[in-house]
Amino acid sequence: MRRRRHEIPAHAPRSAVVTGAARGIGEAIATELVDRGYRVLVTDLDADAARATAERIGAADGTAHDVTDPVDARAIADRARGLAPLGAWIANAGVGFDGALTELSEAHARALVEVNLLGPIWGARAAVAAFREQAAAGVAHGGEIGVTVSLSALGPVPGLSVYAASKAGALSVVSGLASEVRREGIRVHAVCPDGVNTELLRGMAPGGQAQALVRSGTLVTAEQVAHGLVGMFGTHRVYRTLPAWRGAVLRLTALIPGPALRLEPAMRAIGARKARSLRA
């Protein structure tokens, strides 16, 4: 059931771009923004799915978008500005190929970096350029940039080493950019959720190291991720973890990776047990 519509913010109407929003977390974020009064442009590699989702949730439009193409990012920003002055850009699109570093194909390794790291970079550059043009023209001041990252950005995750590295890079970009544009009224945020029961998690090798470790934690919902990210709008909070306690655990493993990783077999066993109980 849809939530009661939020009060439309004072800066409305503003447009918002959500990448990878045809389903899962992206759809939940787009829905949250629609409820908050934004004219949302749903984007995805699958144009038909993007348009169908946009119609289903009451977004302004849906279109195809390749987040690895910086030229396409600028075109998407222009398209959103045709709906209303750009108010938010959410870099949500991501891929989650699992496997040890030595097992990943070259294509999968490149995709992890190009989608999960370069995707948010090109999107942020397009959004900042749009915000600056709007400010110079006296149309609107500032805006919000959000990135869907991952709890794996905070510490070592065996079986997801390249994925985790791409997400750690994205979190570093968010932290640096937040400082670079703060004086312009542009706020930058990241949400770092634990496992979310989406196609990305279900697509990991069944019974594999990565899936078992992710399932050892606390699965959160796409709606919780959306609320956590959009809830930072209007603040200077750079990132939050979901749940908070898992963020503390991952940061600890980053500080003492040797001793912490000795617990990996036990954590994997817990995840495998949870997976079996779910199937039952």
Domains of the chain are: 15-204+219-256 (3.40.50.720)
Q: What is the pLDDT of residues 154-178, one digit of tens each?
A: 987 888 999 999 999 999 999 999 9
- Edge to edge, the sheet with strand 186-193 lists 61-64, 39-44, 15-18, 86-91, 143-148, 186-193, 239-242
Q: Is residue 38 annotated as part of the catalytic site, yes or no?
A: no
User: In this structure, what is the dihedral angle of CA atoms 266, 167, 47, 2, given to the nearest 10 degrees?
Assistant: 70
The pLDDT assigned to 188 comes to 98
Is this structure's pTM higher than 0.75?
yes
The pLDDT assigned to 159 comes to 86
Q: What is the pLDDT of residues 257-272, one digit of tens each?
A: 655 555 444 444 434 4
The pLDDT assigned to 264 comes to 47
* Average pLDDT across the chain, whole number: 85
Where the chain has pLDDT below 70, the residues are 1-12, 198-218, 245-252, 254-280
- Retrieve residue 274's tokens: 């949870």
Measured in degrees and rounded to the nearest 5, phi and psi for residue 145 equal -120, 130
Among 97, 163, 233, 239, which one carries the catalytic annotation?
A: 163
The pLDDT assigned to 157 comes to 82
